[in-house]
Amino acid sequence: MKFDTPATNNPIDQLKVIGQPISRIDGPLKTTGTAPYAYDRNDVVANQAYGYILGAGIAKGRITSFNLSAAKAYPGVITIVTHQNAGKLSKGKYNTAFLLGGPEIQHYHQAIAIVVAETFEQARAAAHLIQVKYERTKGYYDLDSQRSKSIPKDDMGMPGDSAVGNFDAAFLASSIKMDATYSTSHESHSMMEPHATIAAWDGGQLTLWTSNQMIDWAVGDMAKTLGIPKEKVRVISPYIGGGFGGKLFLRSDALMAALASKAAQRPVKVTLQRALIPNNTTHRSATIQRIRIGAEKDGLITAIGHESWSGNLPDGGPEAGAFQTRSLYAGANRMTSNRLSNLDLPEANAMRAPNEASGLAALEVAMDEMAEKLGMDPIEFRIKNDTQVVPDSPSKSEPAKLKSKKSEDKEQHPPFSLRQLVKCFQVGSEHFGWNKRKAKPGERREGRWLIGLGVASAYRDNVVTKSAARVRLDKRGYLTVETDMTDIGTGSYTIIAQTAAEMMGVPLAKVNVRLGDSNFPVSSGSGGQWGGNSSTSGVYAACVKLREAIAQKANFPIGDAVFADEKISNKSQSLTLAELAGNQGIAAEDMIEFSGLDKKYKQSTFGAHFVEVAVDAYTGETRIRRMLAVCAAGRILNPKTAHSQVIGAMTMGVGAALMESLEVDKRYGYFVNHDLAGYEIPVHADIPHQEVIFLEETDPVSSPMKAKGVGELGICGVAAAVSNAVYNATGVRVRDYPVTLDKLI
Ligand code: MOS
């Protein structure tokens, strides 16, 4: 099904099942420990051996020799794979570094060997007996010192730089100016379930039980890396204990398990030990961001400039902190630049709301600083500069395809399909009690605690991507939906079941959803907050086809057929779906393809974050007291799962604001605090109170579901709202994240 004109009324609009706060179908499995995660799958294949990965002990250089003899002689050891016996490997499309290093080492803890043994303990003990000699070469590990060597870098099909009008002249001429530089830290996804894989070969056929957000990417990259056809690789990943972008791509657990299994000639299971993950896998790059805003005294922005620097290995992409500044606020003169420096740290890549999470952490503090200079309320200042069209020049910033031939005006400034940012602030300030905020910082005190309120805009683009599904009706009237979509803890099982139930008029209990298997039709996968809307649209398309097939079998014109109560009916008669299905059943498969609309309109999601903090006047300790997010993100398919997504993202935003930071050893080029003991993330006691309000919205431009992404919107702007609240409490402006107590005193 092509989606190329705005959605009209369709069966989803009945909202009998869609839009209901249904609890997650996989919830009981996960909370009782019975959901079969990759590493737990002792049942799927017999005779599993254990693999243990050894990570490189240097960040850059080469291996000059391996001494494996002690490891090989260790009890229970079956085989050891290194670059010397792995055979020829290619780099996958989505990897920046090779997943198996050697002799060249590209980053610290890059996998260099896997030991296979009868038990995990034997494999681990033997791995520690491997002796490696290295020749270290000079690497670069400090973003700030490499900034001068940065270049503008495209990302996600968007150019690194953009310019409209004359920023420099307008900034110089503006009555009120702000110019400040901010920094964000390297961050680690810290998902609960570590990367893990069981690999088994059957002749030339490889099967992987693994934990991966994007099944088809994993299949493609495994095939490419090993140099075998895609058809020879099957990836199975029905349950995933969190990903946050860290499992978008094939990682070393999967490749090393595949190589080890081939060498050992038996199935091998591998999990990345927690202390290997931050340096072996991917992280969110630190950024340095300079923001300049010029405005007139009435608060109208006349010039806005945002430069963002980040670092990555050669071939890697930037953390493009300036992207949202092209679309969020009005202003005739604009300049953005996303610059990238080569660093020899581990690979930087997507982590929840890549680009915007970091970009808004800086921009939304800059907006707070500017509002103060203008003597304006920070919400008023944002509302004053709202825009219903993309203010940046599409030819320079957004995809060139946005250009429409119709009118000059449209060509320059494509409209947002739907933008209710102002309403988010209005609803939120009323609900949160924003009027209690004292404009002057440091004015509200309760005993030893200084109290402050902060806000920030949330903004994240809504990406849509093709997605296929298969739906089958059986003789008992049950529906089975199959798609390679993943559920990373987000609720995919549930919203997909809701979609099929709504479309076919069957109860939710009679819908069976099967996900995460490359034998199923290729879906959008889970990433970039595109999964919920795109994958349910694919299920919608398949259900439209199934409705047609059933109507045809019933000999009803599809135009006046109604699907409800497990029946197909028209004015004169009714037939049960079960009897029509017969012994054979009826099946249909289709794919939603988005063509055109996503280019005519700018599709984005919006929100407003409100935070109250208390800061200890003596120690500088910051405690979050209350958080509120108001979100405008299209139709909410399931308010319960969406709420969980947003509060999870808000929690992650508190981490970025107050504690999360991978600390770099600038001499040796590695993240020092590379485990959950040293890398601090929020716990329950850090998050006492959260609320989420979803604005009533349906966006007919986004999909037949009229929904949008929301899983990443929730983190966007949170760090700035916290930081602004800390400023309001204390009068201390911290521009370097995380806002730890040492920076407040
Ligand atoms: Mo997301 S960072 O694309 O899983």
Mean pLDDT in the chain? 96
Give me ligand 1 centre to Cα 618, in Å: 39
pLDDT tens across 483-502, in order? 999 999 999 999 999 999 99
Candidates 193, 372, 612, 712; catalytic one: 712
User: What is the percentage of the chain residues whose pLDDT exceeds 90?
Assistant: 95
pLDDT tens across 8-36, in order? 999 999 999 999 999 999 999 999 999 99
Q: Mean of the pLDDT values across residues 182-195?
A: 98
* DSSP per-residue string spanning 234-274: EEE-S--S--TTTTSS--HHHHHHHHHHHHHTS-EEEE--G
Place of tokens 């902190």: 321
Q: Mean of the pLDDT values across residues 676-703?
A: 97
Is 712 marked active-site? Answer: yes
Cα atoms in the 13 Å half-sphere on the side-chain side of 706: 20
What H or E segment, with its residue span, contains residue 598? Answer: helix 597-600
> What angle (nearest 5°) sits at the alpha carbon of residue 265, between those of residues 213 and 222?
30
* Helix pair angle (718-730, 356-374), 10° resolution: 30
> What are the φ/ψ torsions at residue 523 (nearest 5 degrees)?
-105, -175
Q: Are 348 and 281 in contact (CB under 8 A)?
A: no
557: exposed, middle or buried (C-beta count within 10 Å: 0-12, 13-18, 19+)? exposed
Q: Give the count of beta carbons closer than 10 Å to the beta carbon of residue 21.
A: 11
Tokens of 686: 């850090």
Ligand 1 atom closest to the CA of 352, numbered from 1: 2
Q: How far apart are CA 354 and CA 323, in angstroms?
A: 10
Task: Look at residue 393 in the predicted model and tell me its pLDDT.
Answer: 66
Place of tokens 């994958």: 535
Buried-state track 96-117, b at ≥16 Cβ within 10 A, e below 16: bbbbbbbbebbbbbbbbbbbbb
Q: Are 270 and 284 in contact (CB under 8 A)?
A: no
Tell me which of 400 and 304 has the higher pLDDT.
304
How many angstroms separate the most distant Cα atoms in the chain? 83
> What are the φ/ψ torsions at residue 678 (nearest 5 degrees)?
-100, -20
Ligand 1 atom closest to the CA of 248, numbered from 1: 4
* 245 close to ligand 1 (CB < 6 Angstrom): yes
Amino acid residing at 673: N
Domains 2-35+464-596 and 416-462+603-745 share a fold: yes
Task: Look at residue 157 in the predicted model and tell me its pLDDT.
Answer: 83
Q: How far apart are CA 236 and CA 520, in angstroms?
A: 10
* 516 close to ligand 1 (CB < 6 Angstrom): no
pLDDT tens across 356-386, in order? 999 999 999 999 999 999 999 999 999 999 9
Atom 4 (ligand 1) nearest CA: 245
Tell me the sheet residues that pair with 28: none
Residue 404 above 60 pLDDT? no
* 700 close to ligand 1 (CB < 6 Angstrom): no
Instruction: Locate the DSSP E strands across 364-497.
Output: 445-446, 449-461, 467-473, 479-482
- Asked if the bond preceding 688 is cis, omega within 30° of 0, the reply is no
Q: Mean of the pLDDT values across residues 318-329?
A: 97
416-462+603-745: which CATH architecture?
A: 2-Layer Sandwich (3.30)
Q: Which CATH number fits domain 2-35+464-596: 3.90.1580.10, 3.30.70.1290, 3.10.620.30, 3.30.365.10?
A: 3.30.365.10
Three-state secondary-structure class, residue 560: helix
Residue 407 above 50 pLDDT? no
Residue 471 above 70 pLDDT? yes
Cα atoms in the 13 Å half-sphere on the side-chain side of 377: 13
Residue 116 above 50 pLDDT? yes
Three-state secondary-structure class, residue 536: helix
Task: Look at residue 155 in the predicted model and tell me its pLDDT.
Answer: 87
Tell me which of 90 and 414 has the higher pLDDT.
90
Please state the domain extents for the chain: 2-35+464-596, 416-462+603-745
What H or E segment, with its residue span, contains residue 644? Answer: helix 639-658
Q: Mean of the pLDDT values across residues 115-126?
A: 98
* 263 close to ligand 1 (CB < 6 Angstrom): no
* DSSP per-residue string spanning 685-740: GG---EEEEEPP---TTT-TT-B---TTGGGTTHHHHHHHHHHHHHS----BSS--
Give me ligand 1 centre to Cα 195, in Å: 15
- Parallel, antiparallel, or unpaired: how do β-strands 449-461 and 467-473 relate? unpaired
Q: How far apart are CA 433 and CA 650, in angstroms?
A: 19
Q: How far apart are CA 416 and CA 729, in angstroms?
A: 35
How distant, in Å, are the alpha carbons of 139, 199, 315 from that of 222?
Answer: 29, 12, 19
> What are the φ/ψ torsions at residue 367 (nearest 5 degrees)?
-65, -35
How distant, in Å, are the alpha carbons of 398, 418, 463, 538, 699 from that of 602?
Answer: 9, 8, 10, 21, 12
* 61 close to ligand 1 (CB < 6 Angstrom): no
pLDDT tens across 227-248, in order? 999 999 999 999 999 999 999 9
DSSP 403: -
User: Which of 712, 715, 716 has most ligand 1 atoms within 8 Å of its beta carbon, as the pocket-test mutant?
Assistant: 712
Q: How far apart are CA 53 and CA 128, in angstroms?
A: 10
Q: Mean of the pLDDT values across residues 132-139?
A: 98
* 213 close to ligand 1 (CB < 6 Angstrom): yes
* 528 close to ligand 1 (CB < 6 Angstrom): yes
Q: How far apart are CA 721 and CA 427, in angstroms?
A: 16
Residue 411 above 70 pLDDT? no
Q: Are 186 and 285 in contact (CB under 8 A)?
A: yes
* 709 close to ligand 1 (CB < 6 Angstrom): no
Q: How far apart are CA 351 and CA 528, in angstroms?
A: 9
Q: Are 329 and 163 in contact (CB under 8 A)?
A: no
Give me ligand 1 centre to Cα 527, in Å: 4
Tokens of 147: 């900034």
How distant, in Å, are the alpha carbons of 22, 195, 501, 563 from that of 506?
Answer: 15, 37, 5, 8
User: Which of 189, 215, 248, 355 has most ligand 1 atoms within 8 Å of its beta carbon, as the pocket-test mutant?
Assistant: 248
